[in-house]
Amino acid sequence: MLQSHSPWTGRPLVLVGLMGVGKSTVGRRLATRLKLPFVDADNAIEDAAGMTITEIFARFGEPYFRAGERRVIGRLMDGTPKVIATGGGAFIDPATRKLILDQATAIWLSAHPDVLVERVKRRDTRPLLRGKDARQVLSDLAAVRDPIYAQAHIHVSSQKGPHEVTVNAILKAIGR
């Protein structure tokens, strides 16, 4: 359930993992518990672009979005302690991943596909799931992305149930 390669050093804590794993919800709660600012990178991207992520994907495509995402995450990596929730694909981009690994403590949140499917059903705002079978898309993404997410400094498994359990597991992993 818990794998940790390095203790927290006060650098930004960056949550990575598949969509629906709880990065934003867990991130907000983690930031509150640590008395740190919380930033949702997707919200920061939308603010910078003046449009939603769905609109960015539709108008410009994924490569354009990933480049903008990298720039925004780069700006967020200002060396101050904070909790940052990233979009599911952010850590997959090699340059963004290097930035996160070099300048932050990366925490991979993983979850069983059943948990992810249940969570992503709640909102219709995920461009990669539009008109597709969520279980199949998430299984395919996990097969490709999990080995990359595994490069994160810390790995915590998010279970079905209260997000507070995941927050507590992260706090334990970072020595808090």
Q: Is the pTM of this model over 0.85?
A: yes
Q: Is 145 annotated as a binding residue?
A: yes
Q: Is 68 annotated as a binding residue?
A: no
Q: Is 25 annotated as a binding residue?
A: yes
Q: Is 66 annotated as a binding residue?
A: yes
Q: Is 32 annotated as a binding residue?
A: no
Q: Which residues contact 74 (CB under 8 A, 6 or more apart)?
A: 99
Report CA-CA distances (Å) from 134 to 18, 28, 44, 121, 127: 12, 25, 26, 8, 11
Q: Is 126 annotated as a binding residue?
A: yes
- In words, the CATH class of domain 2-173 is alpha beta
Q: Is 161 annotated as a binding residue?
A: no
Q: Is 50 annotated as a binding residue?
A: no
Q: How does pLDDT run along the chain (176 residues), one tens digit per residue?
A: 444 444 567 899 999 999 889 899 999 999 999 999 999 999 999 999 999 988 998 899 989 999 999 999 999 998 899 999 999 999 999 999 999 999 999 999 999 888 888 777 666 656 566 667 788 888 899 999 999 999 999 999 987 778 899 999 999 999 88
Q: Is 131 annotated as a binding residue?
A: no
